Structure 1
Amino acid sequence: NFTELGIFSVMWSEHCSYKNSRRELRKFPTTGPNILVKAGEENAGVVDIGDDWAIAFKIESHNHPSAIEPFQGAATGVGGIIRDIFTMGARPEFCLNSLRFGPITHSVERDSVEAINGSRLRGASPYQLSPKAQIAANRRLFTGVVSGIAHYGNCIGVPTIGGEIYFDESFEGNPLVNVFCLGILRHEQLARGAARGVGNPVFYVGAETGRDGLAGASFASRELTEESREDRPAVQVGDPFKEKLLLEACLELLATDAVAGIQDMGAAGLTCSTSETASRGGSGVEIDLAKVPKREPGMTPYEILLSESQERMLIIAKRGKENIVREIFAKWDVPCAEIGRVTDDGMMRVRSNGSVAAEIPAKPLAEEAPLYSRDAKPPSAAAGINDPSYDDLPKIDTHEALRRLLCDPTIASKNWVYRQYDHTVRTGTVVKPGSDAAVFYIREANKILAATTDCNSLYCALDPREGGRIAVAEAARNLTCSGARPLAVTDNLNFGNPYKAENFWQLREAVEGIAEACRTFGTPVVGGNVSLYNESPAGVVDPTPTVAMVGLIDDEKHITTQWFKNKGDAIILVGSVAGVAGSGSSSAAAASDRGYNIGGSRFLKVCFGKKVGPVPKLDIELERAVQNAVRDLIRLDLVTSAHDCSEGGLAVALAECCFSPDRLFGAEINFENRGCAGETPASTEAATLLFNEAQSRVIISCEPKNTERVLSELKSKNIPHAQIGSVITDSLRVTVNDENLSWRVAELHDLWWNSIRRAVESDSEPIPSL
């Protein structure tokens, strides 16, 4: 019947079934000695952190809803991921996010984003807006999403303590909103989402069911079009205060031993929660829709089952303990209704007004959607995109280039964003947003955790396999620079329509790159999310396989931040000035002869409007060696700061090291005789040395008394390194060969600190509604 067809439409949608990606996901390493719940087993992965404590964490997307209704789309994304965590029996401790938007500033990249053949590389105005109006629309999405995240996280009392944001034309009309949450639990508190125990009562708890979010899973499984504006009813509406009550009630109930199973109602709502719990438990579930709390009259079985109203849970209670459930939810003033029971026939059976509205085998519905491996082929433009002509670039003043890069919203300070988040609620935030990784102290467990989200979407557009490898490497590098030992990964794979061979090829390549790197770093993938069909009338988004990684800091004194601490400290580069040179085309080979590769760099994108490769090549064994060496130096108390080199290269990394929240520092840097691979310093232009984004590089500082020991430790491990300068005050002074460069740090900091604020406050015309 129609209701059953609707049930299959959501449960076998891409959003719920992963029918086009599940075979690829099997390539990830998912096991390890500290993994308690593996990827795909439950709502979130669970990792042991010692002393009978564990962490549950996961990242998920809310891209399509945020494109249509940015505030509610982002807010309910936060609410959904928090429910996934406390469903496991864990108390949510903090959130991160990874966001992508179209450009919010007028610049060379807005006017001349060039790919091969001089053609525009995506980014045509998706709704036929003028360039000025398109940027205003991008700002509307950006400010709406940030407001939604802040609203929900602040109200529910879970701090948002870090993340990343990129801006690029490919995300116009289709922003990416990926939200990560981590919670803490003792081993014995682990809850499961399985309907076990024939005859056990099934309870519906939480907000009443309405028509909001109707068939949202199906909406998220197709491309955005001009008509998508009419899909606002498919966007859920959240209430963080209701979720706070629901959270506390559920955790209190889980402590009573009255629960046989628990599942949140997320995508596909009541349909998904009943069928999945029955399937996991090897049982059936029968429910009566007349008993479901509803806030709107006249709702049909189709609407009740497919509604994605927020702040709702399904609880399978143990027989005889029904009153415990009712008393606890009454105490917290949360609606609670017994709507059904567990059966032994393996069926998901739905009754309405005395008749059977739907009857479907639970296991095939939840677990046996057809799986596909789509045709895959590299984009026809790939060869040209990776054939830059470095010699054709116009000369640019290096002073001005650094200023432009620090103004670039992708690189600039995100303080305008995170000052809207209550990042200190729960009082566990040790390192506030702005450093390489967020650091959080969990008092009840006496554990210090570090977490980060990373992905360079441009790298993945140019070379998805290498981009996937680099995403994992950079996440691990960020944790290392904070003093943490990486533990495990959760990922969010954001790609286009899988039926298009080029898009599926990108997905496959990125997955294989991530899998290879995770095996090397010993960081199994414990869960995540796949978001496909990220396309608008402008085209497909740059592939964005976001990697969220969690690490453990063994001792409080090992907590390290990226900022210089003392005037006179030595500055040491761990890794090579140019890292591993690119390879591929003849022009890339010419760059390799010079020892530098600026392909895929923000320098090319921001200063010249070019999205071309080849991207930096990652020597993964060198990367692992560099990270191990830096962690060892931190554990030996020899390091006062550590900062990885990523977007913007050495120059941007050095500037960021100077921007301490406590006071501004400067640096005296000398790159004379610091060549690599036999190059002569005279052959190297300052810009290519300072702005290339070679991998496996960390800038550390140490007290003068420890300099020789640090250099000796690095030499004994055969790690490339060089003492490149010292910390001073007021200015950043860099010498490259005979070229002397100098910037006032206060000026650079002003550009970097205020760039996003000035962009969002500069609109002279109303921001259009889409």
Structure 2
Amino acid sequence: VILRENGVEVGRVPVAIATEPPEYRRKGVRPAELQALNNYDLGSLPDVSPDDATDALLQLLNRPNIASRRPVYRQYDQQVLGNTVVQPGCDAAVVRIAGTDSGFAVKTDCNSRLCYLDPYVGAAAAVAESARNVVCTGATPVAVTDCLNFGDPEKPEVYYQLEQAIRGIAEACSEFDTPVVSGNVSLFNESGGRPVFPTPVIGMLGLIDDVHTAMNCAFSLPGADVWLLGAGVEQPATALAGSEYLEMAHDLVAGLPVVDLTAESRLQRLVLAAHSEGLLLSAHDCSDGGLAVALVESALAGEYGFRGDISIDGRLDAALFGEAQGRIVVFARPEAAARLDALARQNQVPLTRLGAVVEGDGFSIGPVQSPLGPLRDAYETGL
């Protein structure tokens, strides 16, 4: 590469510096503490009682990892020259491509607790969640950028986390056909001699043909059915692995997280197919805080209540606050039920009716009952 100024050569750099960098292959060692943490019997922990379930939900909504990000995104221009179609606050922002009806959706995701417990699963789950978020707007995921934040890779345990996370990202991106087109790496992040939790942040880009059909996460029509796509309401204690509730209620980061990339693909295809047929009013990813938090977020976004029609016979904490992967809550008119059920069967995705959107500010699911006011106060004051 030759650099010239006013026709005079001022620098010459061999191309090989950029095209033939050194390649380091170190030996990774699985952190010793993971054996006990992955094998921890989450079923031995006390379940949340029906009387305490509402208070637990309020506490979760006020946690910094779950609370509204409005204090952050209100600080900058959300309109982007008037082309913003779906604003921040739901699953992904959607922006119109100027001069067209097409647009793109963007979202970043990562759960560092999952990545600590299993860097491969956690990184793959970050790709899956960011793709779900984009799909919930009606956009098709097309590309990824990443930001890999780790400790000192010269330590075998950290190198293990890095290589396993990269493997998880690669396999998930291959499954979703979303190439990694850019990214950056931040290493040697430590404090007091201990590395940060591995945090491979995934930025997902999606494309939507007509921004007028873009969805947000809000309850928008009283009487609409609320459905859960993917793994059902009843969950084993293992669904609490790496969850926000587990850390809040038991001061514990433990368990073995699981991700099924094939099931994730089927779920996302189903939502995009249902959206393309005009069956869905809105959609919301079920992730941090579990099902109860996802439903509250949609109720608050639309300022309508929710009445759950389900009974919970197993563990309450796992059903309400477990963070099983591969689930999306969708909202549809009652007349769309038959076609939605047919598409779910066609894509081999479980479908569960949760209840309905209602007028007023009541919220109920299982033993949880609350007006929207206290839920909103908790959610909006966590940061």
- For 2:90 and 2:204, how far apart are their aligned partners in 1? 15
Give the deviation of 1:339 after TM superposition.
6.7
- For 1:446 and 1:710, how far apart are their aligned partners in 2? 27
The one of 252, 273, 277 equivalent to 1:636 is 277
**1:655 is aligned to 2:282:** no
Q: Which amino acid aligns with 2:30?
A: P
Q: Which amino acid aligns with 2:245?
A: F
The match for 2:365 is 734
**1:406 is aligned to 2:61:** yes
Give the deviation of 1:364 after TM superposition.
4.3
Aligned residue runs from structure 1 range 156-171, under 5 A: none
- For 2:173 and 2:233, how far apart are their aligned partners in 1? 24
- For 1:556 and 1:391, how far apart are their aligned partners in 2? 45
Aligned residue runs from structure 1 range 89-100, under 5 A: none
Instruction: Say if 1:639 and 1:504 are closer, same or farther in 2 by CA, change over 3 A.
Output: same
Secondary structure of the structure 2 residue equivalent to 1:476: helix
The match for 1:382 is 34
The match for 1:271 is none
Aligned residue runs from structure 1 range 306-325, under 5 A: none
Structure 2's unaligned 5+ residue stretches are none
The one of 258, 271, 285 equivalent to 2:3 is 285
- For 1:395 and 1:707, how far apart are their aligned partners in 2? 34
- CA deviations over 1:115-151 (Å, ceiling 9, x no partner): xxxxxxxxxxxxxxxxxxxxxxxxxxxxxxxxxxxxx
Secondary structure of the structure 2 residue equivalent to 1:755: coil
**1:430 is aligned to 2:123:** no
The match for 1:27 is none
Give the deviation of 1:642 after TM superposition.
0.2
- For 1:629 and 1:576, how far apart are their aligned partners in 2? 14
Give the deviation of 1:541 after TM superposition.
0.7
Checking the alignment, whether the CA contact within 8 Å between 1:578 and 1:692 is kept in structure 2 is no
The one of 420, 426, 434 equivalent to 2:75 is 420
- For 1:341 and 1:527, how far apart are their aligned partners in 2? 34
Secondary structure of the structure 2 residue equivalent to 1:597: helix
The match for 1:712 is 342
Give the deviation of 1:671 after TM superposition.
2.5
Give the deviation of 1:750 after TM superposition.
1.1
The match for 1:108 is none
Aligned residue runs from structure 1 range 523-534, under 5 A: 523-534=178-189
Give the deviation of 1:574 after TM superposition.
0.8
Q: Which amino acid aligns with 1:482?
A: T
**1:613 is aligned to 2:255:** yes
Q: Percent identity?
A: 38
The match for 2:373 is 746
Larger radius of gyration: 1
The one of 104, 107, 130 equivalent to 1:452 is 107
Q: Which amino acid aligns with 2:274?
A: L
Give the deviation of 1:741 after TM superposition.
2.7
Secondary structure of the structure 2 residue equivalent to 1:699: strand
- For 2:21 and 2:280, how far apart are their aligned partners in 1? 52
Q: Which amino acid aligns with 2:23?
A: L
The match for 1:665 is 304
Checking the alignment, whether the CA contact within 8 Å between 1:664 and 1:746 is kept in structure 2 is no
- For 1:417 and 1:564, how far apart are their aligned partners in 2? 23
The match for 2:351 is 721
Aligned residue runs from structure 1 range 30-109, under 5 A: none
Checking the alignment, whether the CA contact within 8 Å between 1:375 and 1:499 is kept in structure 2 is no
Aligned residue runs from structure 1 range 677-696, under 5 A: 682=313, 684-696=314-326
- For 1:364 and 1:339, how far apart are their aligned partners in 2? 26
- For 2:203 and 2:378, how far apart are their aligned partners in 1? 29
What count of residue pairs does the alignment treat as equivalent? 379
- For 1:638 and 1:524, how far apart are their aligned partners in 2? 29
Give the deviation of 1:391 after TM superposition.
4.4
Structure 1's unaligned 5+ residue stretches are 1-277, 279-283, 287-337, 349-360, 582-590, 673-680, 757-770
Secondary structure of the structure 2 residue equivalent to 1:551: strand
- For 1:690 and 1:418, how far apart are their aligned partners in 2? 28
- For 1:624 and 1:532, how far apart are their aligned partners in 2? 31
Checking the alignment, whether the CA contact within 8 Å between 1:645 and 1:697 is kept in structure 2 is yes
Give the deviation of 1:442 after TM superposition.
1.6
- For 1:622 and 1:538, how far apart are their aligned partners in 2? 39
The match for 1:497 is 152
- For 1:425 and 1:629, how far apart are their aligned partners in 2? 31
Secondary structure of the structure 2 residue equivalent to 1:490: strand
The match for 2:170 is 515
- For 1:386 and 1:655, how far apart are their aligned partners in 2? 30
- For 1:636 and 1:494, how far apart are their aligned partners in 2? 40
Instruction: Say if 1:369 and 1:713 are closer, same or farther in 2 by CA, change over 3 A.
Output: closer
- CA deviations over 1:308-354 (Å, ceiling 9, x no partner): xxxxxxxxxxxxxxxxxxxxxxxxxxxxxx577458xxx63xxxxxx
The match for 1:761 is none
- For 2:7 and 2:154, how far apart are their aligned partners in 1? 40
- CA deviations over 1:267-318 (Å, ceiling 9, x no partner): xxxxxxxxxxx2xxxxx235xxxxxxxxxxxxxxxxxxxxxxxxxxxxxxxx
Superposition RMSD in Å: 1.9
Give the deviation of 1:495 after TM superposition.
0.9
The match for 1:597 is 239
Secondary structure of the structure 2 residue equivalent to 1:478: helix
